[in-house]
Amino acid sequence: MSHNEDVLHRLKTIEGHLRGVIRMVEADAYCIDVIRQIQAIQAALNKVSTQILEDHLRSCVTTAIRSADEKERERVLREIAEVFEMSTKV
C-alpha cells in the first residue's frame, strides 16, 4: 500500500468512526462513551497528521534545505514552525 493509500484508508476509517459518534449523540448515548470515542478519533487524526508531516519532512523539506535557494529554505522552515505553533493553540 502506498503512503497516500494508507493515509486515505486511515481517514476513511476515521470518517466511519465519526459517523458512529454522530449516531451515538443522536441516540443520546452515555456521555463518557461518546467522549472516549471522540478521544479515539483525535488520536487517529494525530497519527495521520504525524504520517503526513514525516512524509513532508522527508520530501519537501529535505529538498528545500538542500537547495541553493535561501528564500525557499527559510519558507519551509517557517512553515514547520507555524505548524508546531498551531498545534499548541488547539
Q: What is the pLDDT of residues 44-63, one digit of tens each?
A: 999 999 999 999 999 988 99
* Whole-structure pTM value: 0.84
The letter for the amino acid at 55 is: D
How many separate domains does the chain show?
1
CATH number at residue 50: 1.20.58.1000
What's the CA gap between 72 and 5, in Å, rounded? 29
- Which range marks the domain in which residue 36 is found? 3-89
Q: What is the pLDDT of residues 26-38, one digit of tens each?
A: 999 999 999 999 9
On the 0-12 / 13-18 / 19+ scale of CB atoms within 10 A, 85 is: exposed
For residues 7 and 52, is the Cβ–Cβ distance under 8 A? yes
In the prediction, which pLDDT does 89 show? 81
